[in-house]
């Protein structure tokens, strides 16, 4: 049999400030809070100058420029703010103002550049601001911590994780020496180090940083800080698949929130959604379902549409994963009704709702109802993301699946080709995702009897998989299997056999010798051996497959 990868469905989550950036199950606004607010390192804003008793003649003009620039920054008119801060920099330099004012100006300019995603320029300006400050206060002054943090956050944004880590470590070392500032400065720095080391794959260091945060926050009596810390630790344990330990911490977060803020609070809803997400990963969908239904009732009591819609989305996801497609329909219908009202204001959330509804209908073979929803999703994605964006490509890919189910292979082929062009433009020709796409395109060719076109696409999928490393091995096994099946159908048995062998060996390596996917490979190889007249070898393969299948 040919192996098609599971279709890449749109997974879109509204922007989240819950706990930390790892938790994105739910995002909801409640007055001044959004979910459970993540501890941000120092929460830096623009640095306002003191204008009393200016020493230099240019100080008054400089101060006015800084004040005007801040106003534009606060209203998100970054272009005008940049122009004004550049004028302030010229005034500062030409008037010979002190290094303190120069540092403020540089920092403000860098913040504005970063806000416009001019990261390379921002990095250079942040570095200069840090050098100026070091010259004035020394290399170990506590006043350097905000500047180090700004530079570290930019490095993190640029995915320069080692450089970000170095800046955070230096800031932490300075903060640890200055006992006058207490623990409040160290907590967010430790949180940031926990996050960056986790992303770098150093889970041991990440856990140690988060343990220190837990110790410090326990002393503060600050429930917000404690819950954020407990959640961050739970996220780390969840990442390490230590679900039982993570469950204890997630439950503690819910308990603390209910005690501090009452049972009917959006932060409690957020905490329940986060635990439910872990239950889904832990393959305990029943527990996830119970918790999500409880969260939905709480959100309904509060009357917050954003919270309600996020609970509905998570309920749909959990039910689909269990194969309960009929039960998903009322949730997906209600979700779409809520988000359709704010489609212009929040097109990404609307796109998610369209997709949830379409996937539920698709799973029940209601293609005529699902197709217009996915066509609408493509239109929304194009308007939101442009016709060269990955979100648009994913929406097209979902539509392609409907075409396949409706056996409209010409439309599926044309759509798949558009997906590949877009993704190659963004990801490059050899990205593992392109390998998956080439495999899908080859399967569409095969379904139309276009074997001559399917072969080069399968070969390209194999070539990309071979370059992709460990993460690409499952898809490489699929592509090898599919190319082998193509050769077998064409009677090219000698070309097919080494491919089946490689596919089987890869699956044994990845999944273990008793996995059902290994049994499928054994069955495929056995079919080829029978075609080649090697019935005894085929019988051995079938025997192994039966032994595996009997254990399921």
**What residues form DSSP beta bridges with 37?**
18
- 143: which DSSP letter? G
Per residue, the 3-state secondary structure of 369-404, as one string, reads HHHHHHHHHHHHHHHHHCCCCHHHHHHHHHHHHHHH
552 residues of the chain, pLDDT tens digit each: 555 554 444 333 232 222 232 343 333 333 333 222 222 333 333 444 443 344 444 678 888 888 889 999 988 899 999 999 999 889 888 888 888 888 889 989 999 999 888 999 999 999 998 998 888 888 888 888 888 999 999 999 888 999 999 999 999 998 888 766 656 788 888 888 988 998 898 888 888 888 888 788 777 777 787 888 888 888 888 988 899 999 999 999 999 899 889 999 999 999 999 999 999 999 999 999 999 999 999 999 999 999 999 999 999 999 999 999 999 999 999 999 999 999 999 999 999 999 999 999 999 999 999 999 999 999 999 999 899 999 999 999 999 999 999 999 999 999 999 999 999 999 998 888 999 999 999 999 999 999 999 999 999 999 999 987 777 889 999 999 999 999 999 999 999 999 999 999 999 999 999 999 999 999 999 999 999 999 999 999 999 999 999 986
| pTM, entire model | 0.66
- What are the distances in angstroms from CA 397 to CA 11, 40, 117, 514? 12, 36, 29, 33
Burial of 115 (0-12, 13-18, 19+ CB in 10 A): middle
Which domains occur in the chain, in start order?
43-174 (1.25.40.10), 428-552 (1.25.40.10)
Q: How far apart are CA 267 and CA 199, in angstroms?
A: 26
The count of residues in the chain is 552
CA 351 to the chain's CA centroid: 17
Q: What is the pLDDT of residue 293?
A: 97
Which two tokens mark 533? 């007249």
Residue 348 CB neighbours (<10 A): 17
Q: Spell out the long-range contacts of 543-547 with Cβ–Cβ below 8 A and sequence spacing 24 or more.
A: 544/519, 545/519, 545/520
Q: How far apart are CA 548 and CA 336, in angstroms?
A: 43
- If one counts every other C-beta atom within 10 angstroms of the C-beta of residue 159, the result is 9
């Amino acid at each position: 049999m040919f192996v098609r990868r599971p279709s890449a469905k749109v997974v879109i989550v509204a922007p989240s400030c819950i706990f930390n950036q790892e938790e994105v199950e739910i995002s909801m606004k409640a007055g001044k809070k959004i979910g459970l607010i993540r501890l941000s390192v120092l929460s830096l804003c623009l640095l306002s100058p003191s204008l009393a008793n200016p020493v230099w003649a240019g100080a008054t003009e400089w101060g006015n420029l800084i004040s005007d620039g801040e106003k534009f920054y606060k209203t998100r008119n970054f272009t005008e703010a940049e122009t004004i801060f550049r004028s302030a920099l010229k005034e500062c330099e030409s008037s010979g103002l002190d290094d303190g004012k120069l540092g403020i100006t540089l920092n403000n300019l860098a913040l504005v550049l970063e806000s416009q995603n001019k990261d390379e320029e921002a990095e250079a300006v942040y570095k200069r601001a840090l050098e100026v400050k070091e010259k004035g206060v020394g290399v170990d002054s506590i006043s350097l911590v905000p500047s180090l943090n700004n530079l570290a956050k930019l490095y993190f944004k640029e995915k320069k994780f080692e450089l970000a880590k170095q800046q955070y470590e230096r800031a932490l070392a300075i903060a640890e020496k200055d006992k006058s500032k207490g623990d409040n400065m160290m907590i967010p720095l430790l949180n940031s180090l926990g996050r960056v080391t986790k992303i770098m794959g150093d889970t041991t260091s990440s856990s140690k940083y988060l343990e220190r945060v837990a110790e410090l926050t326990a002393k503060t009596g600050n429930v917000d800080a404690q819950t954020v810390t407990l959640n961050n630790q739970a996220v780390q344990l969840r990442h390490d698949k230590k679900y039982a330990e993570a469950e204890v911490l997630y439950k503690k977060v819910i308990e603390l929130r209910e005690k501090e803020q009452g049972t009917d609070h959006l932060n409690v809803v957020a905490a329940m959604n986060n635990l439910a997400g872990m239950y889904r990963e832990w393959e305990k969908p029943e527990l996830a379902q119970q918790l999500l239904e409880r969260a939905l009732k709480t959100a309904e009591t509060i009357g917050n549409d954003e919270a309600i819609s996020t609970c509905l989305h998570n309920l749909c996801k959990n039910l689909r994963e269990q194969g309960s497609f009929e039960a998903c329909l009322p949730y997906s219908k209600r979700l779409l009704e809520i988000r359709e009202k704010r489609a212009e204001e929040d097109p990404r959330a609307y796109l998610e709702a369209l997709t949830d509804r379409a996937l539920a209908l698709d799973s029940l073979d209601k293609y005529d109802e699902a197709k217009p929803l996915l066509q609408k999703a493509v239109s929304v994605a194009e308007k939101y993301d442009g016709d060269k964006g990955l979100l648009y490509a994913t929406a097209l890919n979902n539509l392609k699946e409907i075409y396949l189910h409706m056996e409209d292979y010409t439309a599926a082929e044309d759509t798949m080709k558009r997906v590949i062009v877009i993704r190659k433009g963004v990801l490059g020709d050899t990205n593992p995702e392109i390998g998956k796409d080439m495999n899908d395109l080859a399967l569409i060719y095969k379904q139309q009897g276009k074997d001559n076109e399917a072969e080069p696409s399968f070969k390209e999928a194999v070539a990309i998989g071979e370059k992709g490393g460990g993460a690409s091995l499952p898809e490489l096994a699929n592509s090898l299997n599919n190319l082998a099946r193509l050769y077998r159908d064409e009677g090219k048995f000698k070309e097919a056999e080494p491919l089946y062998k490689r596919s089987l060996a890869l699956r044994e390596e990845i999944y273990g010798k008793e996995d059902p996917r290994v049994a499928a490979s054994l069955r495929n190889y056995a079919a080829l051996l029978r075609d080649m007249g090697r019935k005894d070898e085929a019988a051995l393969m079938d025997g192994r497959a039966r032994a595996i299948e009997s254990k399921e």
